[in-house]
Chain A
Amino acid sequence: MSTPEPLPEIDRPLGAERDLVPVSPASIGGAPVAYVVALSGVVAAFSFIPFSIALSAGSSFPMAQGIYALCGLILGPWAGGVASGAGALVGVLLAPHTAGLPWLTVGGAFLGAVFAGSLVGGRRRRPLRVAVGTLLAAEAVLFWQHAIGHNGVHPALFLEAYAAHGLAFALFLLPTRIAIERLILSPNLKRVALGLFLATWTATGMMMFTESFLGYYLLNWPEPVFRIFIGIIPAEQAARSGIGAVVGTGVIAGLRAMAVLRPRGAAY
């Protein structure tokens, strides 16, 4: 906890300073439920907007995918995951045309926010980062084994198809993760936008890799599909990250300006 700034001599309060201990039970990981509900509403609303620059799984992806990471960055991993997942669930029910496999959409929304929350938060979230890293590594091994070892997909094709997701994982594992956090905390909004772009790329890249891994076990798509992914995945990643950067910068600029209570797990 940081030491409070000394107050100016003039205007000194006469009353005793009070500790602001959250007294409301209505919070998730320190984020008030009202914030979770609000962001979940935004995710649900964005779920109605198909963002169809490419047709990866036979349908477009909803614009909400661009702000899953934002939920995790603003609310922390768990509250962000709940907001993101609940919003996606509402979206799946009311706008099924923008969701491929409903359970994968909801689970992916939850994971996208959790992965983003794990990107920031310093040492406090190291255990979560270790868990996320282990999960992704295990997925990569199993995916490789199934696609290359079992189905005979050419290794180079696999690597090219998932290069964008690999880049996301690398950004997560390397010190770039710390740089991303610093960019988001910067007072300069252009740096914030860059940080959000990279954070969204990282978190949704890992999320999409997880979804792709699970989807491959379900659908077992043929090798030519990997070839299509080479162009599609980076383009979709860029679109998601662009949405995250534009929407997120506006949201963070507004939250900073309005000076409302910052959720305990927030990274802005």
Chain B
Amino acid sequence: MEPAARLEQVSYYYPGADRAALLNIDLEIRPGEMVGVIGATGSGKTTLCLALNGIVPQLYGGRFFGRVTVAGRDTLEHPISALASQVGMVMQDPESQIVTASVENEVAFALENLRVPRPEMRARIAEALAAVNLAGLEARHPHELSGGQQQRLALAAAFAVRPALIVLDEPTSQLDPRSTADLFALVRRLCQARGTACLVTGHASEEMAETAGRILVLSRGRLVAAGSPAEVYRDLPLLAREHLRPPEVTAAFSRLAERGVARGPVPVRLADGLAALPALPVPAAFSPAEAPRPAGEPPLLEARDVHYTYPDGTAALRGVSLEIRRGEYVAVLGQNGAGKSSLIRHFLKFMDPSQGELRIGGEPLAGFTTAQLARRIGYVPQNPDRQIFSATVEEEVAFSLRGLPLSPEEKEARTARALGALGLAGQRRSHPFSLSKGDRARVVIAAVLIMEPELLVFDEPTTGQDDAGARAILDLTRELNQAGRTIVVVTHHLSLMPPYARRVLLLGGGRVLLDGPLRAAYHAVDLLAQTDLRPTQAVALARASRPGNLAVTAEEFAGTYALPP
């Protein structure tokens, strides 16, 4: 059977680059196969995706070696428009690839361009929307869909073309855990049902292990490992070397195996881990005391019964009340559409409440302008690229100081401090868009930090970051917190937060469902289920191991087996 895609000794250099973005890649993807591609930021995952539909090198130029064929077509001998019928692309940000004003038209768009006859087009649209559970939403504007629905719409549009290969480049980095799991399961189901090959890149190791048939590991453009999820995720030295995170169940059982507690193959899927628990001894109960919340009046930020309803009648916030004290580190959790962004926008006065009141330092927020608030509350947006507009890193970072009554020496000192704190001193003359996404995020953080705000709000700061990059950013937030700043991190990456946040605000349906210590929140599985946030694998293992085991990380879970029962 002809492979869906084949890469033969493929190497690629971007224009002007002296390091290969891809180097000597040999790969074959079979019809119906779901291949996961993992690797640190900058390892070549996106370049590999773009090489599969000819965008690399046809759009980017550069130097290209070897051969890529998709469904027998050489990607250098066919225009991208012709390859589009054989390779479907689903990108990281679903909004960036939505081009029409209705769900139905969005799926029809590619079919119209490929001149599919109208009756067949209708049939394919219905089939694709049913497959991704969007049937009935044909007339809805795509921007009215949740992030998960938008990504499923992008998938439907790709599948409707019936390509030989579908490439998904970090499709779940902006989705909540439930949507992520659903999308991976959906991709796997569609691949198997239709015999379409799928290549998925990303950092969602738990979902990769659950669904992919084969995992490839890229490192600095090279294919350094390939194998089944078990073969790859059990190789912890390789993962550590490549700054990759194994599934939590694998990390936990690896530690137990090292201590001689667990025997047999280390599981990479949660079900296998849960099945292995009865063979283990009973662990100790684990319920450490929580650190007290910082005291002091008044709270730095308060919300009292805040409501907000959009003009179309959608209620985004329904009576949110909370207090954030100086020196706290708070994680705001909730699924897409829970009200997290609306709440943050109220903090910054980008939105005014329909009802209720917000206060900063005891004073009503209504008395401040957004510019005044910007000096007290720093906001780091989810997508750094939307905030960058200057030609050099230094200009970007120093921009916020322009209107402030500071001496040139003070401005220079602050700029140098912010650049130094973020490790950007050596790149001050670089164009921000010449940096990696992780470094661009650092530029934006530096630009916010330079204002020396009391409270820093990070909106999904780990999106699109590899494990090392995500931890580096969160380490920075912890350093800032230890230096006295108040930190609020909006996220749905639950597995990353335990070493950092002490308090969790769980939002769902525009309400605060839970406000309490992180450990209690992570084990409130019924509430998490209401918000489509599934407990992490470590929490699931701890709860299954014995009542009263409140471990929230793989290390803690493994540690409970070293404690007296």
Contact = CB atoms under 8 A, between A and B. Distances in A.
A253 B431 contact: yes
Given A250-B391, A258-B433, A23 B78 contact: yes
A261 B66 contact: no
Given A23-B77, A26-B79, A260 B64 contact: no
Interface residues of B, number: 36
Contact of B64 (A7, A20, A250): A20
Interface string A2-40: 001101100101111110111111100000101000000
Contacts of B17: 259
B104 to A, nearest CB: 24
Contacts of B23: 11, 13
Given A11-B19, A20-B76, A259-B17, A189 B391 contact: yes
A254 interface: yes
Given A260-B60, A261-B60, A16 B391 contact: no
Contacts of B64: 17-18, 20
B9 A13 contact: yes
B331 interface: no
Given A13-B11, A15-B67, A260 B59 contact: yes
A13 B76 contact: no
B61 A261 contact: yes
Contact of B10 (A11, A15, A22, A260): A15
Contact of A262 (B9, B15, B80): B15
A260 to B, nearest CB: 6
Interface in B267-320: none
Interface of B: 8-11, 13-20, 23-24, 57-67, 76-81, 391, 431-434
A8 B79 contact: no
Contacts of B19: 11
Interface in A229-268: 249-250, 253-254, 256-262
Contact of B11 (A14, A22, A249, A259): A14
Contacts of B11: 13-15
Q: Which 4 A-B pairs have the closest CB atoms?
A: A15-B66, A15-B9, A13-B11, A257-B431
Contacts of A258: 433-434
Nearest to A260: B60
Nearest to A249: B391
B300 to A, nearest CB: 38
A262 to B, nearest CB: 6
Given A5-B18, A257-B431, A258-B433, 4 more contacts: A24-B79, A254-B433, A257-B433, A262-B15
A259 B67 contact: no
A11 B77 CA distance: 26
B63 A4 contact: yes
A16 B66 contact: yes
B63 A14 contact: no
Size class of A's contact patch?
Answer: 20 to 34
Contact of A259 (B16, B76, B77): B16
Nearest to A255: B433
A113 B23 CA distance: 40
Given A24-B79, A261-B60, A13 B431 contact: no
A225 B7 CA distance: 68
A11 B20 contact: yes
B20 A32 contact: no
Given A4-B63, A26-B81, A257 B24 contact: no
Nearest to B75: A23
A17 B63 contact: yes
A189 B11 CA distance: 32
A125 to B, nearest CB: 21
B59 A13 contact: no
Contacts of A7: 13, 18
26 contacts: A4-B63, A7-B18, A11-B19, A13-B11, A13-B20, A13-B23, A13-B66, A16-B9, A16-B65, A17-B64, A20-B62, A22-B58, A23-B58, A32-B59, A34-B59, A253-B391, A257-B431, A257-B434, A258-B433, A259-B15, A259-B16, A260-B59, A260-B61, A261-B57, A261-B60, A262-B15
A24 B9 contact: no
Interface in A55-104: none
Given A13-B9, A259-B16, A262-B15, A20 B431 contact: no
Interface centre among A8, A249, A258 (most CB of B within 10 A): A258
Nearest to B67: A15
A15 B24 contact: yes
A25 B79 contact: yes
A261 B50 CA distance: 14
B203 to A, nearest CB: 23
A260 B434 CA distance: 12
Interface in A205-219: none
Contact of B9 (A14, A189, A257): A14
A13 B24 contact: yes
Contacts of B79: 23-26
> Which of A7, A11, A15, A24: most chain B CB closer than 10 A?
A15
A181 to B, nearest CB: 20
Contacts of A250: 391
A11 B76 CA distance: 23
Interface in A114-135: none
B63 to A, nearest CB: 6
Contacts of B59: 32, 34, 260-261
Contacts of A22: 58
A13 B63 CA distance: 10
B15 A18 contact: no
Contact of B65 (A15, A24, A32): A15
B53 to A, nearest CB: 13
Interface string A181-199: 0000000010000000000
A257 B432 CA distance: 8
B8 A256 contact: no
A13 B78 CA distance: 23
Contacts of B433: 254, 257-258
A11 B19 CA distance: 8
Contacts of A16: 9, 65-66
Contacts of B16: 259
Point out which of A8, A250, A253 has the most chain B C-beta atoms below 10 A from its C-beta. A253
A26 B78 CA distance: 12
Nearest to A23: B79
Contact of A13 (B14, B65, B80): B65
B5 to A, nearest CB: 16
Which residue among A23, A256, A260 has the maximum number of chain B CB atoms within 10 Å of its CB? A23
A83 to B, nearest CB: 17
A24 B58 CA distance: 9
A23 B8 CA distance: 20
Given A15-B65, A261-B60, A262-B15, A24 B80 contact: yes
Contacts of A262: 15, 61
A250 B391 CA distance: 7
Most A Cβ at <10 Å: residue of B19, B64, B78: B64
A254 B60 contact: no
Nearest to B76: A18
Among A25, A250, A260, the most chain B Cβ lie within 10 Å of the Cβ of A260
B176 to A, nearest CB: 30
Nearest to A254: B433
A138 to B, nearest CB: 40
Contacts of A34: 59
Among B8, B9, B63, chain A packs the most CB atoms within 10 A around the CB of B63
